[in-house]
Structures are given as structure tokens and as C-alpha cells.
Amino acid sequence: MKQALALLMILALAAPLAAANNNNDAPTATPTYYGQVQSILEQECQVCHRPNGANLGGMVAPMAFTSYQETRPWARSIARQVESGLMPPWHAAPQHHGVFENERSLTEDQKATLIAWAKGGAPMGNAADAPPAKVWERSDGWTIGEPDLVMDMGQDFFVEDDVRDQYVNFETVITEEMLPEPRWIKAVEFRPGGPVVHHIIARPFGGIAPGNDPTVHHDGFGTLVKPGTTIRWNMHYHKEPGPGTGTWDRSSVALRFYPKDYKPDHVMQSKSMGKFDFEIPPGDSNYVATTTAKFERDALLLGYTPHMHLRGKSAHYLAKYPDGTEEVLLDVPRYDFNWQTHYKYPAGGKKIPAGTEIELTMTWDNSADNPANPDPTKTVVYGGPTTAEMMFGFVSYADAEAGYNPSNTGFLSQQRFNREEFRKTIKERFGVDWDSLSEEEQGEIFRRYRRQQRQGADSDAGEGTVSGGE
């Protein structure tokens, strides 16, 4: 019965196709590399798939597609990857099509062309027909352009043979020789010193994990860096342990500044929404956690970076506006730990009114059906290693008012954050009156308060991954 139905459907579908073919003298020719494929690869794939292509926090495409000879052996794999939606890597739901400026996606046409080319035997076509191959400007330089300041973690570090996961902290200081005066940052790019670097967090510049693009602020937005600033590096190394696998690292971060006389209107800020007190039962295929945060002033949302570990399944950011309406800001239905994507709005960001609440919902799959799950029999709680879990919804944003100093107030506050309660706690724990402290003292006390709150929780938390703005 089912088969008969399927046959009927095929016939029904085939009939109009046949008719169309009759009207069309020549059947559609198989696309060729030089005819159609090369230009799609140039537009959508070569940013990563070329010699020394984009290094997204250690994610480097293992093969280049910059010539017919290089691409031909991968034709079937290309068709598979494109058909299944795995390449190009982009994990936001289709409803967000056109919303984020760094979207990586193919049109239906481009998809069909790549698939038809592979299925048709991946023909070369005629090189003379093709426009000259795209020349990539900097094949091994910084993608943000020539940096004004490059800093590394200050020493070579050896990751031993027997290491699987290792966290190491370093501190370096930006001296006045390196940076004679405060400057506004236009762009930040991290460079892992080797393939075993799993993430770098270097406060206050944010950090990078596999799949992250470098941070480039839109004109009018930036963060300030001052001489004397201490950079706190938190390195996570990850590899298969074994004899001969030990390797050196000296990772670095590069900054590009705005011109000296330029002051951006908006200070870019980054906060993490999340929870530390979840407990994912063994075998649970859909564990859900939710948290909310509220904007106290009009704000410009600039982007989001959802962060979970190997059991992460989906991430959902919902805006609840003060007028009662709601809007899905970001839906990532099939979260992939390997791609720590920052979903970035185009210039100007997305304006939201004071009183907007953001609700973050994340889910995890701790069942055996999750192929990435290292152990479905374990109860999973918060922790640093990729085998423990995290719940972070990083939000980057700026105050909507030009020239506003965000350290005054008005940042994203967690729903349970009660000002009076907070002042009382500070008084009890530190014996000081919050309102009488200077801005710097408040910063120091707040950091101590936060450290206590986390109670030894791994420092992967906090304002990582997205370029920080504290």
C-alpha cells in the first residue's frame, strides 16, 4: 500500500517535469567546476577552505577548495555535507535567515548546483569560460588587518604527553612601552599557538573557542584599553594523551585600534546569562534549563554566543517586551559544540526598550542517542572540562544612548539580582558600604563577590567568548 502510494506520488511529480522537459529542447546540463562551481566555492567556502584559511579559534578547514585538482576528490563529500546542512557551518534556525551579518548559508540554487555537479561526475568544464580565480589577499596574516598591538601569554608552555584536558592561567601586563596611552579597540583576533589549544580567554579582551570569528566592532562601537591593564589568560588545552603528543604553546592576541582622535559613541559590553546549579540526570534526552535577565535601560543588542559542552542540544533566546509582546531573538535547534558561533547583528544592532526581559532556554541530551555524549550513565553538573556541562548565553550589547558611561549602572541584571539584597550582602561579607566606594573599589569588591558566588567554579565562566567590555 505504502509502495503504491509512493509510486503514485513519483508519477504525479514526474508528469509536470516531463512536460517541462518537452518544452525545453536541451535537458539541463550538469554544472561544471569552471562554469558554476568555482564561484560558489569562492563566495561560500574558500574563506575557510584555502591554504592558511580562516583559523576560527583553532578550527581550520583540513582541505582547500581553490582549484579543480584540490576539489575534485571531495565532490561526493561536498554533496553530502551540503545536502545535510553541515557545511557551510551555521546553526541558527532558518527563520533567522537574513538577520545576522555573519550568516553562512547557501541558496537553494547554490545547493542544487553543488549536488548536481557531484552527482554528475564532477566535470571540470572549460577553464577559458571562467572568470579568473579569486585571489585571497592575506593568506597567512591576521584577518582583522595589520594589528597595532600583538601580545602573547608571556612564555612558552609545554602541554605534556599525558594531558587530555588542562587549564592553565597566566598573567601579563600591558606596559606603557607597548601602549603609551588609552586607545579604543576596533578589532580583536586571537591566535592559538597550536592545535591543542581548545579555548583562550584573555580578560578583558574576551576569548575564543573553536568556531569563533575574530571580533570586529562596527564603527561607533568599541572597548577601551589602558596601559597598565593586566591580561588574565585562561588557557584550555585538549588532546588525546599518548607518547609523543606533548607540544608547545604560546598563544597570542592582536588588537587593532581606532584612530587616536576617534571616540566611539557606544561602549560594547558583554554579559553572560546562565546557571551553575543544574543537574542533568543520566540518560535524560531533553533536560531543560531556563534563566532570565532584564535590561534596565534602552539598549542595542549586538549579538549572542550560546555556550554549552558536548551534551548541549539547543539554545533559545526570547525577548519579552514591556508591552507584553514576545520575539524569538535566536533559535539554535541543533547546537554543535564544535562551532562556538557568535551570532552578530549588522551595524547599529537591534534596539530594545528598557524593561525588556530576555529569557534563555537551553537543553541537553544526556542519552546514549547523542553521539557526542562521553558517558550517558553519569549525572552531569557544572564544570570546566568538556565532559562536564556549562550553561552560558553570552549577550553583547551597548547602551542605546550615545556617550553613555555604562559603568554608571544599567547593565543586564539577572532577574534574581536584587539591589538591596546585594548591598546588604556586600556589607555583611566585606564590611563596606557599597555606595561609598569608588568605581575602582566597587570593581574589586564585585570581582571578589563574584568569585565567592562561583565557589571555585571554573573560570571558563564569566564574560568570556564574546569580546568583553568591562
Applying CB under 6 A, the residues found at the interface with ligand HEC are 44-45, 47-49, 54, 56, 59, 61-62, 74, 77-78, 81-82, 87-89, 104, 106, 338
Distances (CA, A) of 44 to 110, 149, 242, 292, 329: 10, 30, 37, 36, 25
Compute the least distance from the CB of residue 104 to ligand HEC, in Å: 5
Compute the least distance from the CB of residue 90 to ligand HEC, in Å: 8
Compute the least distance from the CB of residue 78 to ligand HEC, in Å: 4
Q: Are 381 and 279 in contact (CB under 8 A)?
A: yes
First to last CA, the chain: 65
Looking at the chain, the number of H-run helices and the number of E-run strands are 7, 24
Nearer to ligand HEC by Cβ, of 63 and 354: the residue is 63
Give the sheet arrangement for strand 326-332, strand by strand. 326-332, 312-320, 357-364, 287-294, 413-414
For CA atoms 198, 464, 292, 102, the dihedral sign is negative
Nearer to ligand HEC by Cβ, of 104 and 342: the residue is 104
The three cell numbers of residue 296 are: 534596565
Nearer to ligand HEC by Cβ, of 64 and 188: the residue is 64
Nearer to ligand HEC by Cβ, of 49 and 183: the residue is 49
Nearer to ligand HEC by Cβ, of 114 and 273: the residue is 114
For CA atoms 441, 444, 446, 452, the dihedral sign is negative
Nearer to ligand HEC by Cβ, of 71 and 234: the residue is 71
The angle subtended at Cα 342 by Cα 255 and Cα 109, nearest 5°, is 120
Cis preceding linkage at 147, omega within 30: no
Q: Are 219 and 125 in contact (CB under 8 A)?
A: no
Compute the least distance from the CB of residue 272 to ligand HEC, in Å: 24
d(CA 181, CA 447): 25
Name the residue with cell 532577574. 415
Q: Are 366 and 282 in contact (CB under 8 A)?
A: yes
Q: Are 315 and 290 in contact (CB under 8 A)?
A: no
Compute the least distance from the CB of residue 53 to ligand HEC, in Å: 7
Name the residue with cell 574589586. 444
Compute the least distance from the CB of residue 47 to ligand HEC, in Å: 5
Nearer to ligand HEC by Cβ, of 114 and 395: the residue is 114
Nearer to ligand HEC by Cβ, of 41 and 231: the residue is 41
Compute the least distance from the CB of residue 54 to ligand HEC, in Å: 6
Compute the least distance from the CB of residue 71 to ligand HEC, in Å: 9
Compute the least distance from the CB of residue 43 to ligand HEC, in Å: 8
Nearer to ligand HEC by Cβ, of 57 and 207: the residue is 57
Q: Helix, strand, or coil here: 8?
A: helix
* CA nearest neighbour of 250 among 339, 179, 164, 151: 151
Burial of residue 221 (number of CB atoms within 10 Å: 0-12, 13-18, 19+): buried
Compute the least distance from the CB of residue 79 to ligand HEC, in Å: 8
Q: How far is CA 83 from the centre of its chain?
A: 23
Compute the least distance from the CB of residue 112 to ligand HEC, in Å: 13
For CA atoms 9, 11, 12, 18, the dihedral sign is positive
Nearer to ligand HEC by Cβ, of 75 and 255: the residue is 75
d(CA 181, CA 226): 6
Nearer to ligand HEC by Cβ, of 39 and 413: the residue is 39
Residue 469 burial (CB count, 10 A): 26
